[in-house]
């Protein structure tokens, strides 16, 4: 969860501010307050991966590269999402993107310039998660795969 806040916290906040319903699946059971500061709803990754999807399917998912590289269930989820025309956003730069990322997986990093509000809320979320603040917090970088058929 701390990694999601550090690497994608501003992007998550900006999505919430734009009216998106954002749920962050995490494997740890850390304090959910940092995600709530960003406006995101925390949920348990293991429960989500082992339960059938109820309600509307997601239009977009964001995946940590390290988790994508280490958990075959997450890779299957990404593959299924791609087949269902879901936008896939990959972040943190530590995973093998080629299988899931399509054209963006060839090394193209797409910047997301954080709004002023996103920077402020991300700083508060990082403090709540005990994540050291970094000086280069105005832009986050992602690899994005557009939905098939979009």
Identify whether the C-beta of residue 96 lies closer than 8 Å to the C-beta of residue 12. Answer: no
Q: What is the pLDDT of residue 136?
A: 54
> What are 21's two structure tokens?
């319903």
Q: What is the pLDDT of residue 96?
A: 45
Going by pLDDT thresholds of 50, 70 and 90, the confidence category of residue 26 is confident
Q: What is the pLDDT of residue 93?
A: 53
Name the more confident of 63 and 149.
Answer: 63
Going by pLDDT thresholds of 50, 70 and 90, the confidence category of residue 116 is very high
Place of tokens 């269902």: 84
Q: What is the pLDDT of residue 33?
A: 96
Find, among 105, 139, 101, the residue nearest to 11 by Cα: 139
Identify whether the C-beta of residue 137 lies closer than 8 Å to the C-beta of residue 83. Answer: no
Q: What is the mean pLDDT of residues 105-114?
A: 74
Say yes or no to pLDDT of 147 above 60: no
Q: What is the mean pLDDT of residues 63-87?
A: 84
Place of tokens 């701390």: 2
């Amino acid at each position: 969860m701390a990694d999601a806040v550090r690497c994608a916290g501003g992007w998550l906040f900006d999505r919430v501010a734009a009216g998106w319903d954002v749920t962050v699946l995490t494997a740890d059971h850390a304090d959910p307050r940092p995600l709530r500061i960003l406006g995101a709803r925390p949920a348990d990754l293991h429960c989500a991966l082992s339960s059938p999807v109820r309600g509307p399917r997601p239009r977009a998912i964001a995946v940590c590269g390290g988790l994508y590289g280490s958990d075959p269930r997450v890779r299957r989820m990404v593959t299924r999402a791609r087949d269902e025309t879901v936008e896939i956003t990959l972040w943190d730069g530590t995973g093998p993107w080629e299988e899931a990322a399509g054209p963006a997986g060839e090394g193209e990093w797409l910047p997301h310039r954080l709004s002023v509000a996103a920077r402020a809320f991300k700083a508060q979320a990082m403090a709540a998660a005990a994540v050291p603040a970094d000086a280069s917090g105005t832009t986050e970088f992602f690899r994005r795969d557009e939905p098939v058929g979009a």
